[in-house]
Amino acid sequence: MESLSNILASPHLYSAAVMLLLMIALKAIIGAFVTHQPLAFFNFYCQRLADKVNKTSSNSRQQNISGLIAILVTLAPLVTILWLFESFIEVTWLWHGLLLYIALGNIGLGKINKHIARELVANNNYQAKQATSTLLLRETDKLSSLGISKACIEMQVLRSSQLLVCVGFYYLVFGPLAALSFRLLLEMHYAWNIKTIRFVYFGAAVNHIVKLLQWLPSRLFALILLLGTVGKNTVLCWRLTRGKFLQTGNSLLLHILALSLEIRLGGVAMYQGNKLRKASFNDQARQPQATDIIHASKRINYALYICILLVMMVAIMSFANSGQG
């Protein structure tokens, strides 16, 4: 208890929690008026780097090594420069806020998904596919209304976990540079996704790193999602999903969400002409519909609100403990 009190009394934790809340609010406000991607150039850089060093004619081991070297030559100098540059910054909190703002992902995924759901309900499948194609790696031109609904639901819960919960976790625990480093690894993971044939081996290293780094914060988010099943067979939901708790990857999040919405998630998806058979969850349930996008968005947003509430509680408790000290 004394060690916990010392942690909560840390001035760093209080300032970090307050800064995280402020940047989430700022991101939400700006995102309501302007669509912007601060790391779009970095994603472009990752694509061009892969064009140069990912030789598909090389064997799998050489591609694995090339992918690992690509991570090191990208992150090591960039993180070092940012770390050294901080010593020249007089207004440290402003610098930390900028790094966190860049690291945090899109706050408005729920709003985008609601727009797609409305298009599907109105039978405007072409417009829904167009809106979905900018968000997903998988092919959308041949997706049915069912496929679009499933893809949107899966995308929102996974992106919310990675770009908001995991980034926020690493900011609170290790600081802004750690949060930004994790986000840059995510961008590499998205750019070199192993679901496409071209990056099966080249993207393997960053895929494993991201899976390991997101394990703890994504499990915390999964437990919060599990709270949404209270009153609806929560114990059964836990028994069905607890075997996935220690596994790396996103299966736990998808399984809990599928059970809470009483729909089927996962299964076959097309990635650049390659049919990939992914794990399926809650197979006995019905297929998702457009309205399930709205229901899923509400559940995910409720879980994110709980996360924000927990950060607020940390800030309050940290402030109270620092005052006592």
State pLDDT tens for residues 89-144: 889 999 999 999 999 998 888 888 898 999 999 988 888 888 888 788 777 777 88
- 3-state helix, strand, coil split of the chain in percent (to 5) is 70, 5, 20
CA 125 to chain centre: 26
Q: pLDDT for 5-16, tens place per residue?
A: 555 556 678 899
% of residues, the chain, pLDDT over 70: 94
Q: What does the alpha-carbon distance between residue 224 and residue 25 come to, in Å, rounded to a whole number?
A: 21
Query: Which pLDDT does position 175 carry in this prediction?
Result: 94
Between 168 and 230, the higher pLDDT residue: 168
Indicate whether 233 pLDDT > 80: no
Q: How confident is the model at residue 269 (pLDDT cuts 50, 70, 90)?
A: confident
Q: What does the alpha-carbon distance between residue 297 and residue 284 come to, in Å, rounded to a whole number?
A: 22
